[in-house]
Structure 1
Amino acid sequence: MTFGKGKSVFPAAKGLLDKDVDFPKGPEDTISALRWSPVANHLAAASWDGRVYIYDATDSTSTATIKGVTALTVGAPVLDCDFSKDGTLAAGAAADKKIHIMDLNSSQTMTLEGHTLPVRSVRFVDIPSANAPIIASGSWDKTVRYWDLRQPQPIGTLQLPERVYAMDAAGPLLIAATADSQLHFVNLHDNPLQLSKTAESPLKYQTTTVSVSADGTRWAVGGIDGRAAAQVADEKDKSLENLSFKCHRKASSTKKNQTNVYTVNAVCFSPAHKDVLATAGSDGSYSIWDVRSRSRLSTFPNVGAPVTAASFARDGMALAYAVGYDWAQGYQQNKADVERKIVVHLFKEAPK
């Protein structure tokens, strides 16, 4: 196995699941996204059951000590979620074409309407010229729209050539991955309504997930072909040049010399270290990688079902991941008895 430019992967530490802690029972359907608050150990979970669940995981030593705080009821599948920069607002991107928002202090809610097809992604973004929280939303209607919460209509629209399948933003960088295997880059500190670059995805097949490092200097993607890639935002920096690698694959137990390939459902950078990346897949596993040294830091045993979402805590000391149905076999196989849960893995020290 190689990890970018033909270099061998260093032997990875074998992680253990015995210290992983289940969250209290909550979502009743597939968990599509997880996001930690940037200011507290609070976790948002977007679910196909039509809700965004908010948890207080300040004490995550046991299931009993993790508290369910509230739930934003949307009434349609929620495909993504995010917290505002001060942690007081939670937003959900929904299949009803709307962005749903809750003030976590007052429990008041509001909706933003303007998209003409389901909203796939939502992020609170850093735009220095704005004097209010700004939301960016990516939709299957082939647009990224920007919202000032003091106004009911979008304050700007970025037209794209295809449907937005994944989007992330941090610091000055926003990246939208579209259905035509293109990646669209925006410099939020320069001109949020203009693409700074469009490039072919480094993945051969459909991109499913995008992550931007906390400082906006790194980005990573994962796809349906059990492969991920990481690059730097500064094209002059060649440290991650041509870095793509196989992951979430395993040898077939029934056919000789055949490898089963699984979708990468999540890539996420650690806020504590811009070179530490987690991947999670439909094979039921997650791994931690150091993209700078092109090595896998640790790999964890199969959890028994697809890992549909993952997110690092703000200090890098915890990784939350969701276990459940991944829709790979259609809605017919989404049975009521399929286990759906959120789990947190606690690190003794932040990976670096």
Structure 2
Amino acid sequence: MAYGAGKPLGSSASNGLLDKDVEFPKGPEDTISALRWSPVSNHLAASSWDGKVYIYDASNSTSTTSIRGVAAITVGAPVLGCDFSKDGTIAAGAAADKTIQLMDLNSSQTMKLEGHAAPVRAVRFVEVPSANAPIIASGSWDKTVRYWDLRQPQPIGKIQLSERVYAMDAAGPLLFAATADNQLHLVDLRANPLQLWRSTKSPLAHQTTTASVSSDGSRWAIGSIEGRTAAQAADEKDKSFENLSFKCHRESSPAKKNQTDVYAVNAVCYSPAHKDLLATGGSDSTYHIWDVQTHRRLRAFPKVSGPVTALSFRRDGMALAYAVGYDWSKGYMHNKPETEKKIVLHVFGEVLKK
């Protein structure tokens, strides 16, 4: 359902402060497309349009100088997504040159997976109970999700989708993909990873930009170019969660009276520590924390120095990394070298509660 008659959620949200946010050392030279924390350590991966995946050790994150860059995967083509293996030893990047690039962080050895016929939009290490090895899922503009066993150079299976993959995520038993025709596709990795569990039309009218799955795989969320976010239960029979869609990342126009400027939602991210908590980041240069169970905004942060292009909660849910940079909304001609590109860490001063 649409919540609040189309109004933004939670007008009573407390304001968050940015004065203690810590910038990561200078790294990406172009827009950061995705951020992913390791599931076992305080290492952060950042994929960039500059053709690299950067790996940082943020175990000591008290200052910019205390955060260390520890590795980089050089691809040579824009990297549109990234992830860590479940044990944190392998980093992966989804590349526009149709490949998946991997690095063993212990040995620094790299590996390239080839098989897609178009740019790879997203990559995830997934849990497939029937497999006896780590499995990678990759979503591509060739209208497929492909599965990879790292012991083999070719994909071990694929799902044919209705259109190009614009966003994808996976957690627990759920793999979720949003495609260019505004369809949403769900796969139950426990039952049959090669078969769609169900497909449904997006509850949002316009193009999906980003997707997130809660850590237990019970919920998904998406954002769109129209400044809207939606969250739903993965299982339609799950009555413990009320589906919702809401307006966000909008503001009164400074130029025209009674007009609202609408900005794209560039990133949504569930907290690994609490499936009710969802962060959104937008082209309006803000990010917010929402409680999707109670339909409230918990934190409203002030504007940062540019569009927020990516978000990722640390595994304990007590910190959020966000990326600032050009969001490509005005085309490549407006992507100037002087545009600020940075990764910033916000540590929450208290446990986020419902």
Quote the Cα distance in structure 1 between the aligned partners of 2:93 and 2:7.
40
Residue ranges of structure 2 left out of the alignment (5+ in a row)? none
Instruction: Confirm or deny that 1:60 pairs with 2:64.
Output: no
* Distance 1:172-1:28 versus aligned 2 partners, 3 A rule: same
Quote the Cα distance in structure 2 between the aligned partners of 1:307 and 1:7.
19
Q: Which residue of 1 aligns with 2:307?
A: 306
Q: Is the 8 A contact 1:5 1:243 kept in 2?
A: no
Q: Is the 8 A contact 1:311 1:320 kept in 2?
A: yes
SS in 2 for 1:195: coil
Instruction: Confirm or deny that 1:293 pairs with 2:294.
Output: yes
Quote the Cα distance in structure 2 between the aligned partners of 1:324 and 1:291.
27
- Within 5 A, what are the aligned runs for 1:269-288? 269-288=270-289
Q: Is the 8 A contact 2:250 2:263 kept in 1?
A: yes
Letter in 1 for 2:268: V
Deviation at 1:161, TM superposition (A): 1.0
Deviation at 1:232, TM superposition (A): 1.0
SS in 1 for 2:20: coil
Stretch moving more, 240-249 or 311-320: 240-249
Q: TM-score, normalised by structure 2?
A: 0.97
Quote the Cα distance in structure 2 between the aligned partners of 1:5 and 1:171.
32
The count of corresponding residues between Structure 1 and Structure 2 is: 352
Quote the Cα distance in structure 1 between the aligned partners of 2:245 and 2:331.
29
Instruction: Confirm or deny that 1:153 pairs with 2:158.
Output: no
Quote the Cα distance in structure 2 between the aligned partners of 1:96 and 1:162.
19
Q: Which residue of 1 aligns with 2:234?
A: 233
Quote the Cα distance in structure 2 between the aligned partners of 1:4 and 1:268.
24
SS in 1 for 2:232: strand
- Using the aligned pairs only, state the percent identity: 73
Instruction: Confirm or deny that 1:80 pairs with 2:70.
Output: no
Deviation at 1:131, TM superposition (A): 1.4
Quote the Cα distance in structure 2 between the aligned partners of 1:304 and 1:85.
33
Quote the Cα distance in structure 2 between the aligned partners of 1:280 and 1:319.
11
Letter in 2 for 1:59: N
Quote the Cα distance in structure 2 between the aligned partners of 1:298 and 1:115.
40
Q: Which residue of 1 aligns with 2:28?
A: 27
Q: Which residue of 1 aligns with 2:109?
A: 108
Q: Which residue of 1 aligns with 2:319?
A: 318
Q: Which residue of 1 aligns with 2:179?
A: 178
Q: Is the 8 A contact 1:34 1:81 kept in 2?
A: yes
Q: TM-score, normalised by structure 1?
A: 0.98
Deviation at 1:312, TM superposition (A): 0.2
Deviation at 1:272, TM superposition (A): 0.4
Quote the Cα distance in structure 1 between the aligned partners of 2:4 and 2:168.
24
SS in 1 for 2:197: strand
SS in 1 for 2:169: strand
Q: Which residue of 1 aligns with 2:145?
A: 144
Deviation at 1:304, TM superposition (A): 2.1
Quote the Cα distance in structure 1 between the aligned partners of 2:163 and 2:118.
12
Cα RMSD, aligned residues only: 1.4
Q: Is the 8 A contact 1:183 1:199 kept in 2?
A: yes
Where does structure 1 differ by over 4 angstroms across 4 or more consecutive aligned residues? Answer: 1-8
Partner deviation per Cα, 1:18-77 (whole Å, 9 max, x = no partner): 011000000000000000000001000000000000000011111011010010000000
Letter in 2 for 1:185: L
Deviation at 1:129, TM superposition (A): 1.3
Residue ranges of structure 1 left out of the alignment (5+ in a row)? none
Q: Is the 8 A contact 2:177 2:184 kept in 1?
A: yes
Q: Which residue of 2 aligns with 1:41?
A: 42
Quote the Cα distance in structure 1 between the aligned partners of 2:85 and 2:335.
32
Q: Which residue of 1 aligns with 2:254?
A: 253
